[in-house]
Structure 1
Amino acid sequence: MQKLNIIYIHSHDTGRYIQPHGYGVSTPNLQQMAEEGLMFRQAFCVSPTCSPSRASLLTGEYPHSNGQFGLVNRGFNLPDTDKHIVAFLKNLGYYTALFGFQHVREEPKTIGYDHVDYLDDKAEALLPSVLGFLDNAPSKPFFMSMGFSETHREFPQLTKEDKPQYCLPPNPLPDTPEVRADMAAYKASLRVLDDGIGQILRKLEAVVASPEDREPHEIWDYTIQKDGFV
């Protein structure tokens, strides 16, 4: 059986306030993934804080089982990295690479990735390395974790494109000028995130097959995988 390449793209503090969930924000690339892929509408978060939630996703265990009880920046680390998906995939012959944010260990190199690039987790600074990796991907199957710090605060400065007066806050947030300005700043960060995801999708479409053997399918036609990528 062919081993599929796995690309794990994750953002920070984004929540459901994106176009695929019906909110009035423009995230065309996330919308493309939703339309061409699979949305898990009954999925839930096992923890209200970042590190335990991420560790549960990456180990398949609840925080009380995997030992990630709190935030990395508060001194809590995943105690047993053998439970991390990277350990399982490496045992199956995968090359593993981390780009950007992870937040389950204070020192990313102790997780066990073959390649770690974490000096910057902002999309603009990180994308050249990610796209370069996809251009020169290893011959063996690979797992790539791409962690954007967007949409975590601090938000980028507003531009003329951002108009707080037209940013209606979602319930149950109060509709005040301050909240509208905050939502406009969130949407500015979300725009950076969505553009970064779009660059990755376009790169995948460019490298997934050469022009002479490309099949007439969308990138996510086979539920959530296309020609060796998940």
Structure 2
Amino acid sequence: MQAMENKNYRIAFGLMLLAIAAAMHPSLAQNTKYNVLFIAVDDMNDWVGPFGGYPGIKTPNIDKLAKKGVVFKKAYCSAPACNPSRASLLTGVRPSSSGVYHNNQPWRPVLKDAVTIPQYFTANGYEVKGAGKIFHNAFNDKASWPSYFGIPKSPEPPQAPVNGFAHFDWSPVNVQDEDMGDYKVVNEGVGFLNDKHEKPFFLAVGFTRPHLPWYVPQKYFDQYPLSSIKLPETVANDLQDVPDAGVKIAKPKGDHKFILEHKQWEKAVQGYLASITFADGQIGRLLDALEKSEYAKNTVIVFFGDHGWHLGEKEHWRKFALWEEASRVPFIVYAPGLSKENGVSERTVNLMDIYPTLTELCELPAKKGVEGHSIVPLLKNPAAAWSHHSITTHGFGNHAVRSEKFRYIRYNDGSEELYDHDADPQEWKNLAGDAKYAAVKSELAKSLPAINAKDAPTVKEGKE
């Protein structure tokens, strides 16, 4: 009898402790697994505070997130274009394995059986919602979203283009933040975080800016007076030692020629900076909502740009290249109670690593066939041993291999580039023809993809 009373007492006491814990941390009562806040930003390069790409950039909200989690200084995209980058990281299938290399190649027809990250989380009991640009605009995947809020159109100047041509343009717009599409997308995310959720959740929020055209409210342009604009570091004849395949990609007689002839370089940089700071403000609204919610202590945050962006480096604009500016991305991960606070990692990681990282963090069964590596060890110890190079692919048979010291590019025609980032971070001197680097090239070439899938079918839509 006494033993039974002691047992009942222990059960009652245990239930009381659980009730107290649940009252103090409501999310613990509902979700024993991590929630996920998945933040994708379009065309954002390393010109944000934690990555040091532009001195004086104003990104206080991204800076704040960086202090909470781990900043990956050498993170790279799988492809320097929206569609292949997003399709690959969300399916776990590399561009070289799928044949989806460009923005005008629908990915689902060639990856019929692929299970995307949101699909996998749904199948494993998560409540899943998407808002904004997660997949490439033209090829959003309805099968991935039990709940999805699309991409509202943002205001444009009455007489566009203003400074550029077509959508390659930049100008203030006489509107409020509330009128912008990204603001409305964040509203969806904020509303979701304010709701009660009985199951763990996966919330994906995608930002359009700083994608072209760079139209944001005037107040963001005012933060970067033209007189204070710093142009990227460049050298004359930078493409002189680049193979023809690389020059063809750069298209120096296209955007860059227009910029120089019309004296738009400072204005274009101003537009890009203004768009980044606008995006940072909206990212801040979303992060603040999480911080104020009951889920703050149990939610993983993954923040990334889908690829980099050139603003005149190598006489090139936009993404669509295999150099550092086009392939390096901002990447920050925060896992409560696990990731190192104020962590900075110099290991070469890739956006392909997101899928296996999230499944491990959320204790889901490992997804078979995923072509990435979990970075959970680097979240715990950013300086941990890491044996993986980062691979970026642009078009059939064109790849870049990034180690912590070198970038090695091999084009489909066999031509090469090699840059020593310790001595030449701007990639001004191509060392590929120097015989003393033959062993370096040979070692890096071992990481080139073994498979080069044929090009997936193309459509007219979705080129940008």
Q: What SS does the aligned partner of 1:106 have?
A: helix
How many Å apart are 1:225 and its aligned residue?
Answer: 2.2
Give the Å deviation of 1:6.
0.6
Shift of 1:67: 4.7
C-alpha distance in structure 2 between counterparts of 1:81 and 1:164, whole Å: 50
Q: Secondary structure at the match of 2:214?
A: coil
Q: Name the residue aligned to 2:33.
A: 3
Q: Could you tell me whether the CA contact under 8 Å between 1:6 and 1:142 is conserved in 2? A: yes
| Equivalent pair of 1:81/1:87 in contact (CA under 8 Å) | no
Indicate the larger mover: 117-126 or 28-37: 117-126
Q: State the distance in 1 between where 2:98 and 2:148 align.
A: 23
Residue 127 of structure 2 corresponds to residue 17 of structure 1: no
Aligned in 2, Cα 1:66/1:142: closer, same or farther, shift over 3 Å? farther
Q: Does 1:82 align with 2:114?
A: yes
Q: Which residue of 2 aligns with 1:138?
A: 197
SS at match of 2:71: coil
CA deviations over 1:81-135 (Å, ceiling 9, x no partner): 6331112111210111110012347353523211010041722222222111110
Larger radius of gyration: 2
Aligned to 2:310: none
Separation in 2 of the partners of 1:119 and 1:152?
A: 13
- Larger strand fraction of residues: 2
Sort the Cα spacing of 1:45 and 1:66 in 2 relative to 1 into closer, same or farther, 3 A: same
**Offset of 1:30 from its aligned partner?**
0.6
Contact kept, 8 Å, 2:87 with 2:107, in 1: the verdict is: no
Deviations 1:179-221 (A, max 9, x none): 1111111111111110011111111111136xxxx98xxx98x
CA shift for structure 1 position 45:
1.5
Partner of 1:128: 187
Opposite residue 200 of structure 1, the aligned amino acid is L
Aligned partner of residue 76 in structure 2, secondary structure: coil
Q: CA deviation at 1:165?
A: 1.7
Range moving further from structure 2, 107-116 or 131-140: 107-116
Q: Identity percentage over the alignment?
A: 24
Q: Output the CA distance in 1 between the equivalents of 2:281 and 2:267.
A: 21
TM-score, normalization: structure 1? 0.82
Partner of 2:304: none
Shift in alpha-carbon separation, 1:33–1:67, aligned structure 2, 3 A: same
Q: Which residue of 2 aligns with 1:168?
A: 230
The letter of the residue matching 2:75 is A
Aligned twin of 1:205: 291
1:225 aligns with 2:335: yes
Which residues in structure 2 correspond to 1:8-47 (within 5 Å)? 8-22=38-52, 23-24=54-55, 25-47=57-79
Unaligned runs of 5+ in 2: 1-30, 154-180, 236-255, 302-332, 338-360, 363-464
Query: TM-score, normalized by length of structure 2?
Result: 0.43
Q: Deviations over 1:22-76 (max 9, x none)?
A: 22201011111112111122322221211111122212221132453321xx242
Instruction: Tell me what 1:91 maps to.
Output: 123
CA contact (8 A) 1:28 1:194 kept: yes
One-letter code aligned to 1:11: V
Give CA-to-partner distance per residue, 1:127-177, whole Å, 9 cap, x none: 222111110142211111100001001112544333122110223399975
Q: C-alpha distance in 2, partners of 1:189/1:14?
A: 9
Alignment of 1:46-125 (within 5 A): 46-71=78-103, 74-78=104-108, 79-80=111-112, 82-104=114-136, 106=138, 108=140, 110-120=142-152, 122-125=181-184
1:185 to 1:91, Cα distance in 2 relative to 1, 3 A: same
CA RMSD in angstroms, aligned pairs only: 3.0
Q: What is the rounded CA distance, in whole Å, between the counterparts of 1:139 and 1:41 in structure 2?
A: 36
